Amino acid sequence: MHKIRTAVVGAGKMGAIHAKVYDQLPQSNLVAMVDIDAEKAKRLAKQYDCHAFTDCVDILGKVDAVTIATPTFSHLEIAKIFIENNVAVMIEKPLAVDAKEGRKIVGLAKKNGVIVAVGHSERCNPVVQAMKRLDIEPKFIEATRISPYPFRSTDVGVVLDVMIHDIDIILSMASSEIKKVDAVGVSVIDEKEDICNARIFFKNGCIANITASRLALKTERKVRVFSRQAYLSVDYLRKNGIIIKADPNVNVVNWIKEQQSKGDFNPLSVNWPDLLHIEQLDIDDKEPLRLEQESFLKAVADRSLVPEVSAEEGLAAMECAERVLASVKKHKWE
């Protein structure tokens, strides 16, 4: 097998996770760690038996693909170095500090014909992959993603740090242009919003309601999807979910009408789950980050393929997130 020479820029928590996965993938040859903090880079390089550098320019010509896991404000500057030197790039979400910079990255990728992926690893969550296989057309999506304060990603608020996961997933499911966005948010810890609720209206009639918080007392990541074909209720955290399919339940409706016509129908005596056609979602137990990097490297090796989340999709999520933030600002609490 031809191995792809890989590197990670950023030796922080996320960089360390990416390095670990690259080191484990059979198609990857992890050759370098880059960080402005030389000690951090050396520590991880020693762990994975590769080279340490403090400047991205030093690894040009030595790598085929890199993951950028640095603070958001540096994404454009670092990505530009690699894209202009024909090195494929995966950028940890969000794609850039704003949509304007995101568009520059997408433009550079197109101009230079370079693969650029975005690290929306939740798209590779086995639960999301299972939903994707169902190929349903959602009419209403409700997503909740709340957790205690993480003490990381303090350079962005809850929308770009947390909600953007669900924005990306919902955009891929709705497959439609956005018609309108309404949102409200509040800052508690810092200047950036810590809690936000957004309602997204799509041109095809689908509506999404998203709640994100990093000030909760518990961690919860759930989504419910309503469609003509089925109702889904899934839990990203526990990696489980149920599907209630519409068509098989017609007999239930007929049975209820028959019982009501007899005049002796008692709803309290009915065990509803026994009557409904409920299935457990078929979920693979695969590590999301591994799936994400496998998809990225496959696209690097075979240009007919695309990564799980392309730069264009990452930009679409950014643009939607900015519309959410604009609405939050418009409805700012006094």
Residues in the chain predicted with pLDDT less than 70, given as ranges, are 1, 152-155, 246-253, 255, 264, 268-276, 333-334
User: Is residue 72 a contact partner of residue 96, using CB atoms and an 8 Å limit?
Assistant: yes
The secondary structure of 148-206 as a DSSP string is S--S--TTS-HIIIIIHHHHHHHHHHH-S-EEEEEEEEE-SSSSS-SEEEEEEEETTS-
Q: For 201-257, write each residue's pLDDT tens digit.
A: 999 999 999 999 999 889 999 999 998 878 899 998 888 888 887 666 556 667 677
Residue 140's DSSP bridge partners are: 207, 226
Kindly report the backbone phi and psi dihedral angles of residue 23, in degrees, each rounded to the nearest multiple of 5, phi listed first: -65, -30
Q: Cα–Cα distance between 225 and 243 in angstroms, integer?
A: 9
| CA distances for 132 relative to 89, 228, 244, 281, 288, angstroms | 25, 16, 16, 11, 14
* 326 beta partners: none
Q: Take residue 107 and report the two structure tokens written for it.
A: 């433009």
Residues of the chain with CATH 3.40.50.720: 4-120
* Partners of 92 in the β-ladder: 119
Q: What is the pLDDT of residue 323?
A: 97
pLDDT of amino acid 42:
97
CATH 3.30.360.10 in the chain, residue ranges: 124-287+319-330
What pLDDT is recorded for position 144? 97
CB neighbourhood size of 96 (10 A):
26
User: Would you tell me the crossing angle of helices 99-112 and 75-83 to the nearest 10 degrees?
Assistant: 0
Q: Which two tokens stand for residue 5?
A: 């020479």
Superfamily per CATH, domain 4-120: NAD(P)-binding Rossmann-like Domain (3.40.50.720)
Residue 101, CA atoms < 13 Å, CB-side half-sphere: 16
pLDDT of residue 281: 79
Contact 198, 324 (CB under 8 A): yes
Look at residue 188 in the predicted model and tell me its pLDDT. 85
Q: Among all chains, which residue has been given the structure tokens 């419910």?
A: 224
What pLDDT, on the 0 to 100 scale, is given for residue 16? 95
Q: Nearest to residue 11, comparing CAs of 32, 36, 41?
A: 41
Q: Is the CATH number of domain 124-287+319-330 1.10.357.140?
A: no
CA distances to 119, 200, 295, 315 from 171, in Å: 15, 10, 19, 11
Which pTM was predicted? 0.86
Provide the pLDDT for residue 243.
86
State the Rg of the chain over Cα.
Answer: 22
